[in-house]
């Protein structure tokens, strides 16, 4: 028979079916042989494995990255924690065991029973966690009685440890156990119930770098739960270490300066955006969060009227007060409404319609030019600028200074502040903008709100000649061996597009505010050996509830109830001619910026310059590399000769006043 | 419609075998869900409910004239494709892959449904185009397309196991109808040549599973652990088994998925070699009976339909058991009528119904 060779040429259906039957039967024979091999030939050894020995899977948690300050000092580390667990299947008498454990641990037995009851059912070999972090005495007590406690195990796991409790709590943040809702999110894939993850601050924002990779092992344990051997192990990969921009000494100083007050202090490098210190008061102890807060501890934190959990440096939104005046001055100069020589008369009062607006200085400032108006923070001068500019123009300039938008600092919960406009008010309140509100806005009151970090970025732009820097919190990420994983370079987010003259004018006016005889920020002058380092800054006193015209310069702040006292602002940088450090101080209900905030800024700057020989040498010796250098040199170029020339002119004009 | 001859020709043995397998399955499922003196009985109840639904569908499937299957083969196939497409778009993502479609009342796996639908469509195609001397490659482009479309859609879910299963079933049917040896060699060579391409297309975890089969030490915490625990469970059953509800491996949650894809381990542990052999024997009898139905059907459509459905059951059993015994990579293929799962239970029983349908009407339709 000649025909094409094919499967159907297995002639006739009958033959084809025969082949199929053979194939099916032979597959089943193979499966049976395999079963025979596993169950009869190797049966005994598998039976042993299943009965006498139990192979279990254990997680090996990775060690989380260590957090250092900019000088390599350890801020956050891991320490071993002893956890106590119970394997129900291995416990002979649960009641008795829990009773013994209760006595050894000195805890109530019902508390332990509760934990056993709430464990998922139907998994008698899954250890139930009784205590995550036993103290020394507890570990010793349990270890000595181990033989009478079958099914009880003590394991060591790394535990986050914040070396200085409450140090930079808001910036560094804390860890907490993952929540069930979080487990379901895609970005939390790979996490398991009971895992810790960053919930606040750097710990949260840099979670991916810090966390590391979980390992695990197959463990052979005997029926009593004792580990016989580790069969196979996958080592965990430790997380990456973070080098923060923080300077520990400066941070400590900032925190002690805020002790007993509510408020925030930021110290940053105006050439790079590095956050050298960021303190928010009151703070909290991060170790409490890792350990797990008791309900009463949690309640105490939540009920605290000073909101310890809020990072006031980036979340707190405050009226700007006079620290807003540079924006208004810029707007007036750029729009050519005034020049530095334009004078207004300040009698202490200004009338608009039938409303009287007062200067903070009752007697008034007399004939005053723009330079002195900034230096002495004359309200009457700025009322008139506000009247000329109107809210929308002021808002446009405020936005140029990046007020009203987040600084993009890599920390959670940053607030954006508020820059009002006529249209915004109409939309929000259904009421048109009033003329008088132009005046109020010009001195930083009314609807305007900003966070301390926004003020930092805003003044840094004045200090560095117009560059908006993204505040930098982490300098670099390193692997456990110290190799650099990534460098976080300074980022310029934009430019203040102003004429160099305007910037120079502001720089000089801010220097004047601290160094002129009548300046409002005199309390920020450095003392003693550091006298030669000139500080530039601006005070602000932000009214909380009182209408601006009710303010009285010589009212004793202590007579006013705390919650009605003004917020005190001070933003300053030094050295004035080539700024290296910028400090923002905000004291909630602290009173006047000049008296309540400026001294704190001085304290920080003195700390910063304390080991510094005279300024000139310090400048050349300051450690800076790459883009930093570039920023620095461009800044000093900016502050060159024409500015200086103009500057002296204003000062003379002011002096004649 | 119901002819006396139909009842005479009813395949009682097939029904008996089906019920026997289902009974073994339910007992094993009960045992799998039994732990520490309690049983998660809702799962058993739900499986009972699914098997009951399946039984109704089975009755429907053998009652209707099987000409209907032939008539609606292609529309039904297209509906199956649409459902597969829908699952890719609207599907529920469970552990990384979209396999489930929420139909309001129930959540279903369209890939399960596609198995009989494809078999019906292929049977319809080949029944109409009988060819002496085997098909050439160029005559196979249409059935090839019919196979490749659903296989590709399922592979995109991604569910490589089911895709491979569908391919195996289709290839079985096509080879059964007859392909020239030269064409087989070309195809085989092509398949071998494209293996590296498949490797390249596979996802990381899929490659891991294959590598793990070759060396269980590779991935001790994932698939390697799975295979080792599975082998311990099966092996520790020895000849007589540990006894009903006495297994430790399954109950102690050493084996993930022990009530679905890995349910065979529970049986093997508690009933030993004897029990495993019994279930395999039941399946073998079922398959031989299925082939017998195919052989005795007098029309080509009936033969191919019965053969295809037998192939579905065969490949499920072979792949699932081989996987549990550590001979194939870990893939999500259930053991028919034993593993817990609604779509699988209903579709398998419907398929059995079709098989009975062919058996009953072997003398009725003669061309």
Average pLDDT over residues A352-368: 87
Average pLDDT over residues A417-428: 92
Average pLDDT over residues A307-324: 93
- Which tokens is A208 given? 């991916």
- The C-alpha atoms of residue A200 and residue A160 are separated, in whole angstroms, by 14
Q: Using an 8 Å CB-CB cutoff, list chain A residues near B176.
A: 7, 16, 20
pLDDT tens, B320-357? 999 889 888 877 789 999 998 888 999 999 999 999 99
Write out the E strands in A490-633.
492-495, 536-542, 567-574, 581-587
Window B:122-161, CB contacts with A under 8 Å:
131-135
| Chain pair A-B, CB pairs under 8 angstroms | 165
Å from A64 to nearest chain B CA? Answer: 21
> Is B182–A13 a contact, with Cβ atoms under 8 angstroms apart?
no
Q: Does B367 have pLDDT greater than 60? A: no
Q: Does A529 have pLDDT greater than 60? A: yes
Backbone angles phi, psi at A426, to 5 degrees: -60, -45
CB of B268 within 8 Å of a chain A CB? The answer is yes
Q: Does A52 have pLDDT greater than 70? A: no
pLDDT score for A552: 47
Query: Which distant-in-sequence residues (6+ apart) come within 8 Å of A450 by Cβ?
Result: A317, A318, A320, A403, A404, A417, A418, A458
Counting residues of chain B whose pLDDT is more than 90, the rounded percentage is 34
Average pLDDT over residues A211-239: 75
Q: Using an 8 Å CB-CB cutoff, list chain B residues near A20.
A: 176, 291, 307
- Of B66 and A502, more confident: A502
> Is A55–B294 a contact, with Cβ atoms under 8 angstroms apart?
no
pLDDT score for B35: 59
Average pLDDT over residues A266-293: 91
For A7, which residue in chain B has the nearest alpha carbon? B178
Judged by average pLDDT, the poorest of A232-241, A643-652, B137-146, B293-302 is A643-652
Counting residues of chain A whose pLDDT is more than 70, the rounded percentage is 85
- The pLDDT-based confidence of A29 (bands split at 50, 70, 90) is very high
> Is B252–A16 a contact, with Cβ atoms under 8 angstroms apart?
no
- The pLDDT-based confidence of A54 (bands split at 50, 70, 90) is low
Q: Does A97 have pLDDT greater than 70? A: yes
Window A:433-492, CB contacts with B under 8 Å:
none
Mean pLDDT of chain B: 82
Q: Does A207 have pLDDT greater than 80? A: yes
Average pLDDT over residues A601-610: 93
pLDDT score for A240: 94
Helix (H, G, I), strand (E, B) or coil at B356: helix
Counting residues of chain A whose pLDDT is more than 90, the rounded percentage is 45
- The C-alpha atoms of residue A54 and residue B228 are separated, in whole angstroms, by 12
- Which tokens is A307 given? 């909101």
Which one of B236, B239, B284 has the shortest CB-CB distance to A49?
Answer: B236
For B229, which residue in chain A has the nearest alpha carbon? A55
Q: Does B187 have pLDDT greater than 80? A: no
> Is B238–A42 a contact, with Cβ atoms under 8 angstroms apart?
no
Q: Using an 8 Å CB-CB cutoff, list chain A residues near B288.
A: 21, 24
Query: Which distant-in-sequence residues (6+ apart) come within 8 Å of A595 by Cβ?
Result: A523, A568
> Is A8–B291 a contact, with Cβ atoms under 8 angstroms apart?
no
pLDDT score for A620: 43
- The C-alpha atoms of residue B226 and residue B205 are separated, in whole angstroms, by 14
Å from B135 to nearest chain A CA? Answer: 8
> Is B179–A17 a contact, with Cβ atoms under 8 angstroms apart?
no
Which one of B217, B229, B321 has the shortest CB-CB distance to A232?
Answer: B217
Window B:319-348, CB contacts with A under 8 Å:
321-322, 325, 327
Q: Using an 8 Å CB-CB cutoff, list chain B residues near A16.
A: 176
Return the residue matching tokens 């900019």: A70
ipTM of predicted assembly, 2 dp: 0.90
- The C-alpha atoms of residue A287 and residue A646 are separated, in whole angstroms, by 55
Q: Using an 8 Å CB-CB cutoff, list chain B residues near A123.
A: 35, 252-253
DSSP A40: I
pLDDT score for A634: 41
Mean pLDDT of chain A: 83
> Is B133–A9 a contact, with Cβ atoms under 8 angstroms apart?
yes
Judged by average pLDDT, the poorest of A479-488, B132-141, B337-346 is B132-141
Q: Using an 8 Å CB-CB cutoff, list chain A residues near B127.
A: none
pLDDT score for A441: 92
Nearest by Cα to A448 from A422, A407, A419: A419
Å from A539 to nearest chain B CA? Answer: 57
Query: Which of A2, A21, A35 best probes binding to B when mutated, by most B CB atoms within 10 angstroms?
Result: A35
pLDDT score for B229: 78
Average pLDDT over residues A457-466: 93
- Of A184 and A462, more confident: A462
pLDDT tens, B34-80? 755 556 667 888 889 999 999 999 999 988 887 788 889 899 999 99
Helix (H, G, I), strand (E, B) or coil at B339: coil
Q: Using an 8 Å CB-CB cutoff, list chain B residues near A17.
A: 291, 294-295
Which one of A13, A40, A55 has the shortest CB-CB distance to B238?
Answer: A40
Q: Using an 8 Å CB-CB cutoff, list chain A residues near B276.
A: 35, 39
Å from B33 to nearest chain A CA? Answer: 9
Provide the sign of the torsion angle of the four alpha carbons A592, A593, A599, A603, taken in this order: positive
Q: Is A480 exposed, middle or buried (0-12, 13-18, 19+ CB in 10 A)?
A: middle
CB of A42 within 8 Å of a chain B CB? The answer is yes
pLDDT score for B96: 60
Task: Give me the domains of chain A, ranges plus CATH numbers.
Answer: 56-244 (3.90.1310.10), 248-281+314-655 (3.40.710.10)
Cβ atoms of B304 and B292 closer than 8 Å: no
pLDDT score for A185: 78
Average pLDDT over residues A379-386: 92
């Amino acid at each position: 028979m000649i025909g094409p060779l094919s499967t159907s040429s297995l002639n006739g259906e009958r033959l084809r079916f025969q082949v199929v039957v053979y194939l099916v039967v032979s597959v089943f024979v193979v499966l049976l042989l395999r079963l025979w091999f596993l169950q009869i030939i190797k049966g005994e050894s598998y039976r042993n494995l299943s009965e006498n020995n139990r192979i279990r899977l254990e997680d090996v948690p990775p060690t989380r990255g260590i957090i250092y300050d900019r000088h390599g000092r350890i801020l956050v580390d891991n320490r071993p924690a002893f956890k106590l667990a119970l394997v129900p299947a291995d416990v002979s008498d649960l009641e008795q065991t829990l009773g013994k454990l209760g006595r050894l641990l000195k805890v109530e037995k019902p508390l332990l029973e509760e934990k056993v009851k709430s464990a998922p059912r139907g998994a008698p070999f899954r250890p139930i966690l009784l205590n995550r972090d036993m103290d020394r005495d507890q570990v010793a007590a349990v270890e000595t009685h181990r033989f009478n406690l079958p099914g009880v195990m003590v394991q060591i796991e790394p535990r986050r440890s914040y070396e200085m409790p409450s140090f930079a709590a808001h910036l560094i943040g804390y860890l907490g156990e993952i929540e069930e809702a979080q487990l379901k999110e895609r970005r939390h894939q790979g996490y398991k119930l009971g895992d810790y993850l960053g919930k606040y601050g750097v710990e949260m924002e840099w979670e991916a770098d810090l966390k590391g990779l979980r390992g695990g092992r197959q463990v052979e344990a005997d029926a009593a739960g004792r580990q016989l051997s580790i069969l196979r192990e996958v080592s965990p990969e430790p997380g990456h270490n973070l080098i923060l921009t923080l300077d520990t000494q400066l941070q400590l100083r900032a925190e002690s300066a805020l002790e007993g007050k509510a408020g925030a202090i930021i110290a940053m490098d105006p050439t790079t955006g590095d956050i050298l210190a960021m303190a928010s008061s009151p703070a909290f102890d991060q170790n409490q969060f890792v350990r797990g807060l008791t309900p009463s501890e949690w309640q105490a934190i939540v009920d605290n009227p000073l909101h310890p959990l809020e990072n006031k440096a980036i979340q707190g939104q405050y009226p700007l007060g006079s620290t807003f005046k540079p924006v208004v001055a810029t707007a007036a100069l750029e729009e050519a409404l005034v020049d530095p020589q334009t004078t207004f008369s300040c009698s202490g009062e200004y009338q608009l319609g039938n409303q009287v607006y007062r200067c903070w200085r009752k007697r008034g400032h007399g004939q005053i030019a723009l330079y002195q108006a900034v230096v002495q923070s004359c309200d009457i001068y700025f009322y008139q600028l506000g009247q000329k500019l109107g809210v929308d123009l002021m808002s446009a300039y405020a936005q140029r200074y990046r007020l009203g938008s987040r600084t993009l600092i890599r920390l959670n919960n940053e607030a954006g502040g508020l820059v009002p406009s006529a249209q915004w008010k109409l939309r929000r309140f259904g009421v048109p903008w009033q003329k008088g509100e132009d005046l109020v806005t010009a001195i930083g009151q009314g609807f305007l709100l900003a966070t301390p970090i926004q003020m930092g970025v805003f003044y840094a732009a004045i200090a560095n000649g117009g560059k908006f820097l993204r505040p930098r919190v982490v300098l670099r990420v390193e692997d456990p061996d110290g190799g650099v994983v990534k460098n976080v370079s300074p980022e310029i987010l934009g430019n203040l597009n102003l004429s160099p003259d305007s910037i120079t004018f502001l720089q000089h006016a801010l220097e004047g505010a601290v160094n002129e005889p009548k300046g409002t920020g005199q309390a920020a002058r450095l003392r003693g050996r550091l006298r030669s380092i000139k500080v530039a800054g601006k005070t602000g006193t932000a009214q909380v509830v009182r209408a601006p015209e009710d303010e009285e310069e010589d009212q004793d702040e202590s007579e006013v109830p705390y919650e009605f006292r003004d917020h005190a602002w001070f933003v300053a940088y030094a050295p004035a001619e080539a700024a290296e450090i910028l400090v923002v101080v905000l004291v909630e209900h602290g009173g006047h910026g000049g008296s309540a905030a400026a001294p704190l800024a001085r304290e920080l700057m003195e700390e910063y310059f304390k080991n510094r020989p005279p300024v000139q040498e310090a400048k050349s010796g300051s450690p800076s590399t790459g883009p930093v250098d570039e920023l620095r040199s461009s800044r000093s170029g900016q502050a060159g000769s024409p500015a200086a020339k103009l500057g002296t002119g204003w000062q003379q004009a002011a002096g004649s006043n | 419609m119901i002819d006396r001859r139909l009842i005479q020709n009813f395949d009682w043995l097939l029904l008996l075998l089906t019920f026997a397998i289902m009974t073994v399955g339910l007992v094993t499922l009960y045992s799998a869900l039994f732990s520490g003196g309690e049983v998660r009985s809702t799962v058993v109840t739900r499986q009972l409910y699914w098997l009951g639904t399946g039984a109704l569908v089975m009755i429907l499937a053998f009652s209707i004239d099987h000409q209907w299957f032939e008539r609606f083969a292609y529309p039904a196939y297209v509906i199956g494709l649409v459902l597969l497409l829908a699952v890719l778009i609207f599907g529920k993502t469970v552990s990384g892959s979209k396999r489930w479609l929420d139909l309001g009342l129930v959540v279903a796996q369209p890939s399960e449904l596609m198995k009989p639908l494809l078999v019906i469509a292929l049977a319809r195609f080949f029944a109409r185009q009988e060819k002496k001397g085997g098909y050439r490659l160029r005559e196979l482009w249409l059935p090839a397309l019919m196979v490749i479309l659903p296989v590709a859609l399922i592979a995109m879910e991604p569910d490589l196991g089911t895709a491979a299963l569908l391919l195996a079933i289709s290839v079985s049917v096509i080879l059964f109808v007859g392909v020239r040896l030269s064409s087989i060699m070309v195809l085989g060579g092509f398949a071998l040549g494209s293996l590296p391409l498949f490797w390249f297309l596979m996802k990381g975890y899929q490659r891991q599973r294959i590598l793990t089969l070759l060396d269980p030490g590779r991935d001790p915490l994932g698939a390697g652990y799975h295979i080792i625990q599975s082998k311990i469970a099966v092996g520790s059953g020895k000849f007589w088994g540990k006894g009903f509800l006495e297994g430790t491996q399954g109950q102690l949650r050493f084996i993930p998925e022990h009530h679905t894809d890995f349910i065979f381990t529970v049986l093997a542990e508690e009933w030993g070699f004897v029990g495993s052999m019994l279930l395999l024997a039941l399946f073998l009898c079922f398959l031989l009976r299925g082939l017998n139905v195919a052989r005795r059907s007098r029309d080509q459509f009936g033969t191919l339909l019965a053969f295809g459905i037998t192939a579905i059951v065969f490949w499920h059993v072979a792949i699932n058991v081989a996987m549990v015994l550590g001979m194939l990579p870990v893939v999500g293929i259930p053991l028919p009528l034993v593993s817990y799962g609604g779509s699988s239970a209903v579709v398998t029983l419907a398929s059995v119904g079709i098989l009975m349908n062919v058996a009953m009407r072997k003398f009725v339709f003669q061309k």
